[in-house]
Structure 1
Amino acid sequence: MKKLLYLLLFTYGFAFAQAERVEPPFWYSGMHNPELQILFYGKNIAQYTPTVSNNVVIKNVVKTENPNYVFVTIDTKNVPASELTFSFKNKNKVAFTQKYELKQREANSAQRKSYDSSDMMYLIMPDRFANGNPNNDSEKSTTEKVKRDNPNGRHGGDIEGIIKNLDYIKELGATAVWSTPLCEDNDPRGSYHGYGQSDVYKIDPRYGTNEDYLRLSAEVKKKGMKLVLDYVTNHWGAEHWMYKDLPMYEWVHQFPGYSQSNYRMSTQFDTNASQIDKRQCVDGWFVPSMPDLNQSNPLVLNYLTQNAIWWIEYADLDGFRVDTYSYNDKEGIAKWTKAITDEYPYFNIVGEVWMQNPAHMAYWQKDSKIGAIESYNSHLPSVMDFSLYDALQWSFNDDNAGWDNGMQKVYNNFTNDFLYPDINSILVFAENHDTNRINQNYKNDFKKYQMAMAIVATVRGIPQLYYGSEIGMAGDKGKGDGDIRHDFPGGWAGDANNAFTKAGRDTQQQQYFDFTSKLFTWRKGKEVIHTGKTTQYIPDNNVYVYFRYNDKETVMVAINNSAEAKTFKTARFAENIKNHKIANDVLTGKTVDVGGEVTMEPKSVLVLELN
């Protein structure tokens, strides 16, 4: 009987035909761009002709060199939230059908607000933050299992761990949470960082489920904070299901096969660059385990665009951070960015443009005058201030003043602010998950930490804090990435101390925490810091003074980076101090006389509200 059934099915063209994958798995009605391109994947699926119900128009069908793929573009304009039925036919006989849902969007979804200079972003590596659900540590469907004693292995941190500690994050003064990627990364080793994704529609089961991520988003908003997703457009992981059965040869960059990037991002705009060097940067792979995606391929670009928009709608996201932004095909990534900001006009996206020259970084910000020279606009609202990061990493070890060291490095960074079209929309930070920790560089010198964080908190832009720095965590990248990504103490049952609670912190941890919380909590309500103007003064004897001001308030920041006490006269700063005589020190609550001269302790900072 079974043999007869199989024969009948095969004879009539059915042959157990089905779509093994459908991406996006569902969509939304009422989108700004009504065209939706759906990927259907299944064995020899290209032999069938698709139709769709509800009078929906199929605008295009693309079949590639791989018969296991069909890309079907439909017009969703004026199509209400409903369930569609796709029929796949062979010789006018329906081989199989596939249900597809258009969901109702949330009200005012397109007008969602995003993070900006009024926010402080807290960066988490979820595998190393807190293990809220030990039951998902070594999930059956993924290759790498938990091995906490391996610095580069899976340690078990997860979404539940973040949810359980949102009050801790909020107490720090954070208003936005940026987690490194949470989608499935099924690499056999080193998968904990999440940048080698193997399924971009699925949360890694060792972190939880898609529903857990939605719950995180909702809980973050209940706390009055915002959720930022770390998106990767440049590459996937070698275990990505699509890489194992490529839709086409040109889905990823091939030379043929593998060739590594030269990492020379300046070739993207260097008018003297050779074509071979430029190609090697953009098309070369970041590392052998990360296939380099070809954003100049319309199918790839549309897939990435729709995936990003799907996550915004599905998880009610408040912003993106985009990894390795400047390694992408620059025309392709500009189209990707514009498509998202066309859909969500107030949505912020910060791109990782790891370059040391401010002109090179400013090139990548939306409406850059530098990019305009060659008629290029990335449409990227925000970039990361890596030149300030460079200055903050080591400057506080320079006890003696020099022409270009110590505080002069910090001062010099801000002399280039004129290059940026929107100086308030850049991300400022002293470290992140890819760098040495500043507490390592400064040997846990609390005074140096204070100076660095005071700058991050009071200059223009959007401040970012890396998890654990606020309790003095250190780490040396020279020992491997695992050393700069230690587990947060108290995130695992049985930890010696629980730094998530005041009772669990030792004296040093509490000192760091109290300072950080006080500083960034104060910043929350300070419009003068969020959007005020800046005046800085050339450092004198390693003492650096700058002002943030608007029509209502003035804040004076003074940093003595010398190993000796310094006294300076305030007459030099008259254009900003004006008639003010008294100031309140935000960090100590003490009153400071700014009418004549100010004395500062060695390696100290004053954040003064002028009264």
Structure 2
Amino acid sequence: MKKLLFSLLVSVSAFAQVDRVEPPFWWSDMTHNEVQIMFYGKNIAQNEVTVSNGIVIKGIQKTENPNYVFVTIDTQNSPAQDLVFTFKNGKKSFTQNYALKSRKENSRFRKSFDSSDLIYLIMSDRFTNGNPNNDNNDKLTEKANRSNKDGRHGGDIEGIIKNLDYIQSLGATAVWPTPLCEDNDERGSYHTYGQSDVYKIDARFGTNEDYVRMSAELHKRGMKNIMDYVTNHWGYKHWMMSDLPTYDWIHQFPGYAQTNYRMAAQFDTNASKKDFDLCMDGWFVKSMPDLNQSNPLVLNYLIQNAIWWIEYADLDGFRVDTYSYNDKTAIAKWTKSITDEYPNFNIVGEVWMYDQAQMAYWQKDSKIGAIQSFNSNLPSVMDFTLQEAIANGVFNEDKQEWRNGMVKVYENFNNDFLYPNINNLLVFFENHDTNRLNEIYKNDFKKYQMAMTLIATVRGIPQIYYGSEIGMAGDKGKGDGDIRRDFPGGWNGDTNNAFTKAGRTEEQNKFFDFTAKLLNWRKNKTVIHTGKTTHYIPENNVYVYFRYNEKESVMVVVNNNEEKQTFKTNRFAENIKKYQSGKDIFTEKTFDLKNDITIDGKSVLILELK
């Protein structure tokens, strides 16, 4: 009997060849009813494949690597059920179960983030260590070392969940954590942009179930979960890199060649083909192999992975890393596939350029892109020119000149006509890759007030970076680790707990209280979310603009002059119209709009007109 049992075990192990199945499961009632399932295992392509329950196999694709087979099935009109795939090679066979699940009700028409939201960006490893027990993992190489500013510190999903009340109290309505999928690089893996498994949350952040729970906790509070998604590259420790499905799954030259970072080559009519190709196909850095989205198998893999996460984790949006480094034709197909499945789903792409026409090229239905018969299908791009003006020290320019001072901010909005949808631009003054605002302005509270007021009241979707609301600084010149510091109070033993009013210093409370008042006011102001804008050429470094609709009007005044300024209101008669007074949201002081207005140096007014 023992000999027979041993013989059976050997027989099973010899033919149980499926090591990975991706997507690991699917849904029965998707609009896109075909799913291409990747089966991976030793010599699996040598088998014939069938599936149970009358499901139609639309195609079987094999590659030069016998360890992969891609099976496309049609799920149209199929109920949620458990399927059985049979792999047969002569008289030998084995099976693999596969689940078709039911979708959440109205999943297709989920509401996404928009200009009514305020996005809170979190560097996931540096926010809060909610579960110290997952700081290290035997299967993952890099271990926690909080003394290393470029190492893993232990921030995790549990830490985010535990502090959602704090984030909500600030006035944020959406959370964007930096990527949470597994990154098994030996060094610098904390940022997780070099992913080693795109179907699995990094165990040092938690589990897939923890991520689903985070979404649910956000939704309980009426908040949204935005996933940081990477289409351009994976990490060199990705599990496929040791056994690629096809040689051209990644761009090879052969091997490594770095991108030239010249994104304008994507549409430059004078660009050489070599420069054009290297922009798209070169690797972002040596440890991040560049994915070849022009390979249909790769593109479909990325489309299905994105849809899987939306459906599985009940996501509310994507931020896409290095969007404009992708093969532009392929990434447009990726984006359209997602928004076809989810018509209201918002995706903001990182298009890090400092020219409005070039950024506008990448927004959906761009007339600039149409010149080259190109439509990116990308709903939202980031307003990097506004960020550049603020980061380059505009609030240090005390006196107005022809090109300096608040004129720089004014001129940014001169070019709004280039964008197909100005309300769907992401506005920000810093993120996880830029210098910290409070470093640039040396924690000058007045300059912080001007910057925060600006992004909270102009058109678009404001995004803030964790910790700025308590005065956190950081110098990119000292390395990325310095602009990604630990949030005080997020680790056991921290002497300063900035998550609570009592735990914050007086200076931290000054920053927090101002920010929370402004952002919670914005939360319910439709006139700011979708109202029109009229702005006036700055005078004496004072910039005045109005946000208005048919029901209300808000007058914003930013005085970037060191001196107190007095100005006549009749200059703004076309916007003041029949309004008699304006009440400042910060001080509740009322201004008579028939009289001159005086504003202190380096300060702001937000006047609700009555």
| TM, length-normalised to structure 2 | 0.98
2:241 to 228, 238, 243: 243
RMSD of aligned residue pairs (Cα, Å): 1.4
| Matched residue, 2:302 | 304
- 1:134-145 aligned at under 5 Å gives the runs 134-145=132-143
What is the letter of the counterpart of residue 404 of structure 1?
R
Matched with 1:458 is 457
- Residues in 2 aligned to 1:170 and 1:158: alpha-carbon distance in whole angstroms: 18
Report the alpha carbon displacement of residue 430 of structure 1 after superposing the two structures with TM: 0.6
Partner of 2:15: helix, strand, or coil? coil
Q: Which residue of 1 aligns with 2:112?
A: 114
Name the SS for the 1:273 alignment partner. coil
Q: Does residue 1:475 correspond to 2:474, yes or no?
A: yes
- For residue 396 of structure 2, what is the aligned residue in structure 1? 397
Q: In the alignment, which residue of structure 2 is the partner of 1:67? A: 66
Report the Cα offset of residue 123 of structure 1.
0.4
Aligned position for 1:356:
354
The CA deviation at 1:2 is 8.6
Question: 1 CA distance for matches of 2:591 and 2:340?
Answer: 49
Counterpart-to-counterpart distance in 1, 2:448 and 2:100: 51
Distance, in Å, in 2 between the alignment partners of 1:605 and 1:595 is 20
Instruction: Give 1:603's aligned residue.
Output: 602
Give the aligned partner of residue 368 of structure 1: 366
Give the whole-Å Cα distance in 2 for the aligned partners of 1:382 and 1:256.
Answer: 35
Amino acid at match of 1:369: K
How big is the shift at 1:596?
A: 2.3
**1:382 matches 2:391:** no
Question: What secondary structure, in the 3-state scheme, does the structure 1 residue paired with 2:14 have?
Answer: coil
SS at match of 2:176: strand
Shift in Å at residue 3 of structure 1?
8.7
Amino acid across the alignment from 1:372: A
Instruction: Please list, as runs of the form range in 1=range in 2, the aligned pairs for 1:23-102 lying within 5 A after superposition.
Output: 23-91=22-90, 93-102=91-100
* 2:333 aligned with 1:339: no
Q: Helix, strand or coil for the counterpart of 2:403?
A: coil
The letter of the residue matching 2:534 is T
Aligned mates of 1:105, 1:94 — CA distance in 2: 36
Determine helix, strand or coil for the equivalent of 1:538. strand
Report the counterpart of residue 574 of structure 1 in structure 2.
573
Offset at 1:95? 1.8
Does the CA-based 8 Å contact 1:252-1:292 persist in structure 2?
Answer: yes
Render the CA deviation track for 1:97-156: whole Å, top value 9, x for unaligned: 000000010110001000000000000011100000000001111100000010000000
Q: How far apart in 2 are the matches of 1:182 and 1:132?
A: 15
Cα 1:14/1:507, change in 2 over 3 Å: closer
1:6 Cα offset (Å): 8.4
Distance 2:3 2:56 in 1: 39
**One-letter amino acid of the counterpart of residue 306, structure 1:** Q
> Which stretches in structure 2 are left out of the alignment for 5+ residues?
none
Q: Which amino acid aligns with 1:84?
A: L
Aligned partners of 1:593 and 1:316: how far apart in 2?
Answer: 49
Runs of 4+ in 1 over 6 A off after TM superposition: 1-10
For the residues of structure 2 that align with 1:422 and 1:344, how far apart are their CA atoms?
19
* 48 and 386 in structure 1: CA distance in 2 versus 1, 3 angstrom threshold: same
| Correspondences of 1:277-316 after superposition (within 5 Å) | 277-316=275-314
Aligned residue number for residue 425 of structure 1: 424
Counterpart Cα distance in 2 of 1:590 and 1:159: 42
Give the letter aligned to residue 496 of structure 1. T
Counterpart code for 1:546: Y
Task: After TM superposition, give the deviation of residue 4 of structure 1 in Å.
Answer: 8.3
Distance 1:203 1:16 in 2: 29
Q: Secondary structure at the match of 1:96?
A: strand
SS of 1:512 mapped into structure 2 = helix
Contact 1:17 1:43 in 2 (8 A): no
1:153: which partner in 2? Answer: 151
Deviations along 1:305-343, one digit per CA (max 9) or x if unpaired, are: 000000000000000000000000001000000000000
Q: Paired residue for 1:199, among 191, 197, 200?
A: 197
Q: Is the 8 Å Cα contact of residues 351 and 384 (structure 1) preserved in structure 2?
A: yes
CA drift of 1:594 comes to 2.4
Verify the 8 A CA contact 1:13 1:95 in the aligned structure 2.
no
How far off its partner does 1:65 sit? Answer: 0.8
1:488-540 deviations in Å (ceiling 9; x for gaps):
00000110110000000001100000000000000011010000000010111
- Could you tell me the percent identity over the aligned residues? 72
Query: What's the secondary structure of 1:114's corresponding residue?
Result: coil
Q: Is this contact kept in 2: 1:111–1:344, CA < 8 A? A: yes
Q: Distance in 1 between matches of 2:14 and 2:203?
A: 33
Tell me the equivalent position of 2:499.
Answer: 500
Structure 2 residue corresponding to 1:269, chosen from 259, 267, 270: 267
**Is the aligned partner of 1:588 residue 2:587?**
yes
Match of 2:212 in 1: 214
Question: Aligned partners of 1:571, 1:263: CA distance in 2, in Å?
Answer: 49
SS of aligned partner of 1:295: coil
Give 2:541's aligned residue. Answer: 542
Question: Could you say what secondary structure the match of 2:486 adopts?
Answer: coil
The aligned length equals: 609
